[in-house]
Amino acid sequence: MATATYTPIATQTLGSAAASITFSSIPGTYTDLRLVLTGTTASAADLAIQYNADTGTNYSGTFLSGIGSSVNSTNNGPSASNILLQSQGVSSTTVPILDTVDIFSYAGSTNKTCLITASTDTNGAGAVELAIGLWRSTAAITSIKIFGNGGVNLSTGTIATLWGI
Protein backbone atom coordinates (compact mmCIF):
# COMPACT_ATOMS: atom_id res chain seq x y z
CA MET A 1 0.00 0.00 0.00
CA ALA A 2 1.31 3.43 -0.95
CA THR A 3 2.50 5.58 1.93
CA ALA A 4 1.84 9.31 2.11
CA THR A 5 5.03 11.33 2.39
CA TYR A 6 6.58 14.75 1.58
CA THR A 7 6.24 15.95 5.14
CA PRO A 8 7.27 19.32 6.54
CA ILE A 9 9.89 18.73 9.23
CA ALA A 10 10.42 22.34 10.25
CA THR A 11 10.17 25.93 9.04
CA GLN A 12 12.27 28.83 10.24
CA THR A 13 11.44 32.48 9.54
CA LEU A 14 13.96 35.07 10.59
CA GLY A 15 12.45 37.70 12.87
CA SER A 16 15.68 39.66 12.67
CA ALA A 17 18.83 39.52 10.58
CA ALA A 18 21.06 36.56 11.33
CA ALA A 19 24.29 35.03 10.11
CA SER A 20 22.70 31.66 9.47
CA ILE A 21 19.75 29.33 9.76
CA THR A 22 20.39 25.84 11.11
CA PHE A 23 18.15 22.81 11.11
CA SER A 24 19.40 20.41 13.76
CA SER A 25 18.34 17.04 15.16
CA ILE A 26 17.03 16.03 11.74
CA PRO A 27 15.34 12.63 12.13
CA GLY A 28 16.76 9.81 10.03
CA THR A 29 13.37 8.40 9.15
CA TYR A 30 12.99 9.68 5.58
CA THR A 31 14.69 8.65 2.34
CA ASP A 32 15.45 12.17 1.06
CA LEU A 33 15.31 15.74 2.30
CA ARG A 34 14.16 18.84 0.43
CA LEU A 35 15.25 22.28 1.59
CA VAL A 36 13.38 25.31 0.24
CA LEU A 37 14.78 28.75 0.93
CA THR A 38 13.56 32.19 -0.04
CA GLY A 39 14.91 35.46 1.24
CA THR A 40 17.19 38.45 0.99
CA THR A 41 20.60 39.32 2.42
CA ALA A 42 22.41 42.35 3.83
CA SER A 43 24.46 42.62 0.65
CA ALA A 44 24.82 40.60 -2.54
CA ALA A 45 26.25 37.19 -1.73
CA ASP A 46 26.36 33.54 -2.66
CA LEU A 47 24.40 31.43 -0.21
CA ALA A 48 25.89 28.17 0.93
CA ILE A 49 25.21 25.15 3.13
CA GLN A 50 27.25 22.89 5.38
CA TYR A 51 26.25 19.60 6.99
CA ASN A 52 26.81 18.42 10.55
CA ALA A 53 28.88 21.55 11.35
CA ASP A 54 31.66 20.25 9.08
CA THR A 55 33.79 23.26 8.07
CA GLY A 56 36.49 21.17 6.41
CA THR A 57 37.29 21.09 2.72
CA ASN A 58 34.98 18.14 2.09
CA TYR A 59 32.56 19.72 -0.38
CA SER A 60 32.41 20.29 -4.14
CA GLY A 61 29.89 21.11 -6.83
CA THR A 62 29.16 21.64 -10.50
CA PHE A 63 26.89 24.34 -11.94
CA LEU A 64 24.93 24.87 -15.13
CA SER A 65 23.99 28.54 -15.25
CA GLY A 66 21.93 30.78 -17.50
CA ILE A 67 22.76 34.45 -17.09
CA GLY A 68 20.75 36.72 -19.36
CA SER A 69 21.53 35.50 -22.87
CA SER A 70 24.61 33.44 -21.98
CA VAL A 71 25.12 29.99 -20.48
CA ASN A 72 28.11 28.50 -18.71
CA SER A 73 29.21 25.69 -16.44
CA THR A 74 31.62 25.97 -13.54
CA ASN A 75 32.91 23.92 -10.63
CA ASN A 76 32.92 24.79 -6.95
CA GLY A 77 36.05 23.08 -5.71
CA PRO A 78 37.50 20.52 -5.68
CA SER A 79 37.77 20.48 -1.93
CA ALA A 80 35.64 23.48 -1.13
CA SER A 81 34.54 24.26 2.41
CA ASN A 82 30.82 24.39 1.59
CA ILE A 83 28.19 23.64 -1.05
CA LEU A 84 27.38 26.84 -2.89
CA LEU A 85 23.74 27.35 -3.79
CA GLN A 86 24.59 29.85 -6.55
CA SER A 87 27.54 30.31 -8.83
CA GLN A 88 26.69 33.13 -11.25
CA GLY A 89 23.66 34.62 -9.54
CA VAL A 90 23.82 36.29 -6.18
CA SER A 91 21.32 37.21 -3.53
CA SER A 92 19.84 40.68 -3.30
CA THR A 93 19.04 43.14 -0.54
CA THR A 94 15.53 43.65 -1.92
CA VAL A 95 14.46 40.85 -4.28
CA PRO A 96 13.99 37.40 -2.74
CA ILE A 97 15.92 34.55 -4.26
CA LEU A 98 14.55 31.00 -4.34
CA ASP A 99 16.72 27.94 -3.78
CA THR A 100 15.69 24.30 -3.59
CA VAL A 101 18.07 21.59 -2.44
CA ASP A 102 17.19 17.89 -2.77
CA ILE A 103 19.46 15.81 -0.54
CA PHE A 104 19.36 12.13 -1.42
CA SER A 105 19.75 9.19 0.95
CA TYR A 106 20.81 11.65 3.63
CA ALA A 107 20.71 9.05 6.38
CA GLY A 108 22.40 6.30 4.37
CA SER A 109 25.99 5.14 4.23
CA THR A 110 26.99 6.55 0.84
CA ASN A 111 28.64 9.92 0.31
CA LYS A 112 26.03 12.67 0.14
CA THR A 113 25.02 14.27 -3.15
CA CYS A 114 22.36 16.93 -3.63
CA LEU A 115 20.59 18.60 -6.55
CA ILE A 116 20.15 22.37 -6.40
CA THR A 117 18.00 24.82 -8.32
CA ALA A 118 18.59 28.53 -7.86
CA SER A 119 16.47 31.42 -9.09
CA THR A 120 18.08 34.82 -8.62
CA ASP A 121 16.29 37.17 -10.98
CA THR A 122 16.55 40.83 -9.99
CA ASN A 123 14.85 42.62 -12.89
CA GLY A 124 17.67 43.32 -15.26
CA ALA A 125 20.22 40.97 -13.77
CA GLY A 126 20.34 37.56 -12.20
CA ALA A 127 20.52 33.93 -13.19
CA VAL A 128 18.80 30.58 -13.22
CA GLU A 129 20.96 27.66 -12.21
CA LEU A 130 20.97 23.89 -11.83
CA ALA A 131 23.73 22.41 -9.72
CA ILE A 132 25.03 19.28 -8.09
CA GLY A 133 26.70 19.32 -4.68
CA LEU A 134 28.80 16.65 -2.97
CA TRP A 135 29.73 16.19 0.68
CA ARG A 136 32.46 13.58 0.94
CA SER A 137 31.19 11.93 4.08
CA THR A 138 29.29 8.73 4.75
CA ALA A 139 27.86 10.06 8.01
CA ALA A 140 24.11 10.52 8.30
CA ILE A 141 23.14 14.16 7.93
CA THR A 142 21.68 15.40 11.20
CA SER A 143 22.04 19.15 10.75
CA ILE A 144 22.10 21.67 7.90
CA LYS A 145 23.44 25.20 8.19
CA ILE A 146 22.45 27.84 5.62
CA PHE A 147 24.49 31.02 5.47
CA GLY A 148 25.74 33.86 3.32
CA ASN A 149 29.18 33.06 2.00
CA GLY A 150 31.70 35.61 3.27
CA GLY A 151 29.75 36.33 6.42
CA VAL A 152 26.88 38.24 4.85
CA ASN A 153 23.79 38.23 7.05
CA LEU A 154 20.46 36.73 6.04
CA SER A 155 17.81 39.42 6.28
CA THR A 156 14.63 39.59 8.32
CA GLY A 157 11.84 37.59 6.75
CA THR A 158 14.07 34.99 5.13
CA ILE A 159 12.23 31.67 5.25
CA ALA A 160 13.61 28.13 5.10
CA THR A 161 11.54 24.95 5.17
CA LEU A 162 12.90 21.43 5.45
CA TRP A 163 10.78 18.59 4.07
CA GLY A 164 11.15 14.86 4.49
CA ILE A 165 10.37 12.54 1.55
Partner 1 sequence: MPIAGVIASSNQQARAASFYQIQQLSPSAVSTVTFSSIPSTYKSLQVRFNLVCTSAGANFQTQFNGDSSSANYVSHRLYGDGGSTVAGGFASGVFGYVLQFANGAVITYPTVGIMDVIDYANTNKNKTVKSLMGANQNTSTGNVQLNSGLWLSTAAINSLTFAVSAGTFTGTISLYGVN
- Distances, alpha carbon 72 to alpha carbons 104, 140, 164, in Å: 25, 33, 32
Among 22, 43, 52, 113, binds partner 1 (CB under 8 A): 113
Determine the Cα–Cα distance for residues 83 and 33; give it in Å rounded to an integer: 15
Among 98, 102, 119, 125, binds partner 1 (CB under 8 A): 102
Q: How many amino acids of this chain bind partner 1 (CB under 8 A)?
A: 39
161 lines the binding site for partner 1 (CB under 8 A): no
| Cβ closest to partner 1, residue 65 vs residue 92 | 65
Q: Kindly give, in sequence order, each residue whose CB lies less than 8 Å from that of residue 80, ignoring residues fewer than 6 positions away.
A: 57, 59, 60, 61
Helices (H), 53-158: none
Residues contributing to the site for partner 1 (CB under 8 A): 2-6, 31-32, 60-65, 71-75, 77-79, 102, 104-105, 108, 110-115, 117, 130-134, 136, 165
